Chains A and B, each alone.
Chain A
Amino acid sequence: MTDTPPQLVVIGNGMAGCRAVEEILARDPKRYQVTIFGAEPRVNYNRIMLSPVLAGEKTYEEIIINGQDWYDDNDIELVSGDPVASIDRSAKTVTARSGRTISYDKLLIATGSDPFIIPVPGHDLPGVVTFRDLDDVDAMLAAAGLGGNAVVIGGGLLGLEAAHGLSLRGMQVTVLHLMPTLMERQLDEAAGWLLKSALEARGQTILTGADTAEITGDGKVQAVHLKDGTVIPADIVVMAVGIRPAVGLAKEADLAVGRGIQVDDDMVTSDENILAVGECVEHDGNVYGLVAPLWDMCRSLADGLVAQPNGYRGSVTSTKLKVSGIDVFSAGDFSGGDGCEDIVLRDATRGVYKRVIVKEDKIVGAVLYGDTADGNWYFDLLKKGEDISEIRDALIFGQAFASGGGASLNPIEAVAALSDDAEICGCNGVSKGQVMACIGNGADTLDAVRSTCKASASCGSCTGLVENLLQLAMGDDYDGARTVTPMCKCTTFTHEDVRAAILEKELKEIPAIMQALSWSTPDGCASCRPALNYYLLCAWPEEHKEDPQSRFVNERMHANIQKDGTYSVVPRMFGGITTPNELRAIADAADKYEVRTVKVTGGQRIDLFGIKKEDLPAIWADLNAAGMVSGHAYGKALRTVKTCVGSEWCRFGTQDSTGLGVKIEHMTWGSWMPHKFKIAVSGCPRNCAEATIKDFGIICVDSGYELLVGGNGGIHLRGTELMCKVETEEQAMEYCAAFIQLYREEARYLDRTAPWIERVGLEYVKSRVVEDDVGRKALQRRFLHSQRILQKDPWAERASGKEDHLHQHLAEIRPFAVVGA
């Protein structure tokens, strides 16, 4: 033999294969020369985060575990998109589909599992997909982009996550589940029912006891037929009824295979040079389809291969459903039986159901719905087999209560009480001990912990725990200073954290946010309240209840306050176009309300100065009567669409810039934004409408429309950047709506588009608005949906008497008399 290290060949570039390699490298980076074969044409990503990708909460880039640099840095050859076709055990070689053959000293099979397809007629029609890899997600997203009906067969973990994602993407979703209770392997009947009600309240149709007879369609799927005769229309069918260990290769190579590839405690198969790990294996009669056992298996495998064997002893599993806003946790055995006692807590108002199953003073199972904060604690007690007799009475109320500290138990003490092997991050399998070690090695910020041991780097739900550990390890040296700043002094959360929590926890009112995120002030401050009001409005347009007391004065009064306390009023003129009648009405109003200054604005509107707050409803009523609505010149909102005269009159004009501007303003007026938002449309590159210093600018050219973004005048003048060029007016409108919605959903309150784009990068904006056709249409749809609900003329509402207390004095005092009380 030469000095070259032995060859380790890994079949499977998924979570198990790469995790095993990581564990081996962590013990001895030089031991093996590693080659990894992957069937998918991409690097190693976090498969359990596909649900958030489908739901639009994550992008593919965000769920990559190991990028190409990891392979390069560790000298690993990645053969992707070329699956292994056969194993020759006597020659110790594997051959890929392309014909390429390489030899191994050790072979690791990590082929995972295949989705189970129920063999009903029509199961092979185009439009019937599974939910296993990124290609499946892409197929679902493509279907969702067209809208229509989705049928998900299977009401287990995966099926419900698929249903949730498709529903968020705008499809009408029906879930078909053979059993009477959803997720019956993880949940008992009570929790299953609560879950079903919650999903139905979100607009999904859930059919339990639904037995699929046939899938039909002409050339592509069109309907699902049940055995009871029900016919459900379907534009896409997702099969998520279960998975099977992928054992084909192992079987052909004549390895011992039962339900999975049989392995011993060191994950070695019936051939001493072949190991197997992950969902494809059977250990001690058990096959696992969840991620947590995989971390244990990979540790045992690496220990056995390069260090001291410690032996895998099987895993107890717990489950969390990744459906934002619905908290479900289950662990262990909840089927009951001899000697089992149930401890149950129900709180109907809060929608909480907790059940802990105890046998011989030990927890054997737990089902939590609605409040899963103590899930990890129960799971920890369960795994360790701890005697709970002393805390039995308080057990169901959770760790804080049972530990004797009442509800006020210090969170730092709570994490200090966790054992070193307690799991902190379920997505990446990181224990408390690993996080502490990582902090000990110099990771002194949340971001540093995330980038080194990956704790809280995926779904982020354990961020609080990780921060508590940082605090525990570093004491006063940890200033909690994330590299980003909190929203305001009332909270430690960033704008992004708060927006994520609003969606995830379905927070719909300002007090609910403050409660859920532990605001340090009773009712916020002048900085956070307007921001929260906007975030709620953006997240929940249907349910938003306007809170005038959380609006800056101009938005509360729907007029601009001036330095003497009077207001200015600007009627909207779509695209800068007005009529003699409108001008007459404006002139009359200016006379009637003794307007002191009439000014033409930079945005091609007319501004009337010096109006008293008591007179505002009356002048609005007069302007309304002439057909004009609020110009929102006062708001963090769409201000104006400025235009030039375009091809209708101008000898240089290439397109109808005025007409397009009018259309865009009709689409966008009345939309609230993180900050003011200005649009302009110029009819030719001479750019008379100054489109290059607007938030969204259009320059018409002979061949179409250049779309420009991120410009502003003001203190820091910034020219726009070219986002893309489109050919038709319809496209220009669609891209405009999508860009606005992306800005509305992702920029921080009081960020104009320029600083926002500088932070996230133009490439990011392009990737969402230009390159992602499905995503762009979804953004546009969300914008138009919001507009259907919130595009209201506030002047008309106020003129009709709404909120009139804002405009009237409480009373007047004249010496020796009070009038009006």
Chain B
Amino acid sequence: MPHNALWLDVGPVEQLPALGARTLPVQGGEEIAIFRTANGDVYALINKCPHKQGPLSQGIVHDNTVTCPLHNWRISLATGDALGDDKGCVPTVPVKIDGGRILIGRKEALASAA
């Protein structure tokens, strides 16, 4: 697996449903949610809405946003910012696809576990 100092390989991209998300618990740290949009873009955020910590991975994905399942806050997948009238931001995690594998930023993924 193409692990290296910068990136962690967390699985094949086909395991991400279009317009859906999968979760990635981090031992001793914050769970990460990995999203896939309709046109195949992949994003990773900490799986906690900035509002009341709702699991964003269970929200409805549309365009490049996700709507939190608890109270319908809309969060930008690219920046983690709350959209519309709501204020708040959830940390993002660098993610890229390489050879059909999902790679996430090692340092950022482990930041909360440090």
Q: Which of A273-281, A350-358, A805-813 contacts B (4 or more CB under 8 A)?
A: A805-813
Output the nearest chain A residue to B27 by Cβ-Cβ distance: A814
Q: Which of A4-12, A555-563, A793-801 contacts B (4 or more CB under 8 A)?
A: A555-563
| CB-defined contacts of A52 to chain B, threshold 8 Å | none
- Are A521 and B63 closer than 8 Å at their CB atoms? yes
Output the nearest chain B residue to A820 by Cβ-Cβ distance: B11
A821 contacts B by Cβ under 8 Å = yes
| CB-defined contacts of A809 to chain B, threshold 8 Å | 22-25
Q: Which of A525, A553, A812 contacts B27 (CB 8 A)?
A: A812
The 8 A CB mask of A647-674 against B (1 = contact, 0 = none) is 0000000000000000000000000000
- Are A525 and B25 closer than 8 Å at their CB atoms? no
Within the complex, the shortest CB–CB distance from B36 to chain A, in Å, comes to 10
B59 contacts A by Cβ under 8 Å = yes
Q: Which of A202-210, A330-338, A544-552 contacts B (4 or more CB under 8 A)?
A: A544-552
B97 contacts A by Cβ under 8 Å = no
The 8 A CB mask of A74-104 against B (1 = contact, 0 = none) is 0000000000000000000000000000000
- Are A812 and B69 closer than 8 Å at their CB atoms? no
| CB-defined contacts of B1 to chain A, threshold 8 Å | 818, 821
Q: Which of B57-75 contact A (CB under 8 A)?
A: 58-63, 67, 69-70, 72, 74
A815 contacts B by Cβ under 8 Å = yes
Interchain CA distance A526-B3 in the complex, whole Å: 36
| CB-defined contacts of B19 to chain A, threshold 8 Å | 523, 549
**Among A552, A809, A811, residue most surrounded by chain B Cβ atoms (within 10 Å):** A811
* Count, chain B residues at interface, CB 8 A: 44
- Are B54 and A565 closer than 8 Å at their CB atoms? yes
- Are B70 and A526 closer than 8 Å at their CB atoms? no
Interchain CA distance A550-B20 in the complex, whole Å: 10
- Are A553 and B61 closer than 8 Å at their CB atoms? no
B46 contacts A by Cβ under 8 Å = no
Within the complex, the shortest CB–CB distance from B102 to chain A, in Å, comes to 8
A714 contacts B by Cβ under 8 Å = no
Output the nearest chain B residue to A511 by Cβ-Cβ distance: B38
Check A810/B58 contact, CB under 8 A, given A525-B67, A549-B20, A821-B1. no
Output the nearest chain B residue to A816 by Cβ-Cβ distance: B110
A522 contacts B by Cβ under 8 Å = yes
How many contacts A-B (CB < 8 Å)? 103
Interchain CA distance A730-B39 in the complex, whole Å: 52
| CB-defined contacts of B60 to chain A, threshold 8 Å | 525-526, 529-530, 549-550, 552
- Are A522 and B23 closer than 8 Å at their CB atoms? no
- Are B110 and A526 closer than 8 Å at their CB atoms? no
* Count, chain A residues at interface, CB 8 A: 29
- Are B24 and A563 closer than 8 Å at their CB atoms? no
Within the complex, the shortest CB–CB distance from A500 to chain B, in Å, comes to 24
Q: Which of B4-23 contact A (CB under 8 A)?
A: 8-11, 15-20, 22-23
Interchain CA distance A821-B24 in the complex, whole Å: 10
| CB-defined contacts of A810 to chain B, threshold 8 Å | 10-11, 15-16, 22-24, 34, 102
Output the nearest chain B residue to A561 by Cβ-Cβ distance: B69
Q: Which of B28, B58, B62 contacts A524 (CB 8 A)?
A: B62
- Are B69 and A821 closer than 8 Å at their CB atoms? no
- Are A523 and B8 closer than 8 Å at their CB atoms? no
| CB-defined contacts of A530 to chain B, threshold 8 Å | 60
Q: Which of B37, B63, B69, B110 contacts A813 (CB 8 A)?
A: B110
- Are B55 and A818 closer than 8 Å at their CB atoms? no
Interchain CA distance A814-B16 in the complex, whole Å: 21
- Are A821 and B9 closer than 8 Å at their CB atoms? yes
Output the nearest chain A residue to B69 by Cβ-Cβ distance: A553
Interchain CA distance A811-B16 in the complex, whole Å: 12
Check A521/B62 contact, CB under 8 A, given A548-B20, A813-B25. yes
Within the complex, the shortest CB–CB distance from B73 to chain A, in Å, comes to 10
Interchain CA distance A728-B11 in the complex, whole Å: 60
Q: Which of B22-59 contact A (CB under 8 A)?
A: 22-29, 32, 34, 37-39, 52-55, 58-59
Interface residues of A (CB under 8 A from B): 521-526, 529-530, 548-550, 552-553, 556-557, 561, 563, 565, 805, 809-815, 818, 820-821
- Which A-B residue pairs are the 4 nearest by beta carbons? A526-B67, A810-B22, A553-B69, A549-B19
**What would 15 more interface pairs be, CB under 8 Å, given A522-B38, A522-B39, A811-B10?**
A521-B62, A521-B63, A526-B59, A529-B60, A549-B60, A561-B58, A565-B53, A810-B10, A810-B16, A810-B102, A812-B27, A813-B24, A813-B110, A815-B27, A818-B8
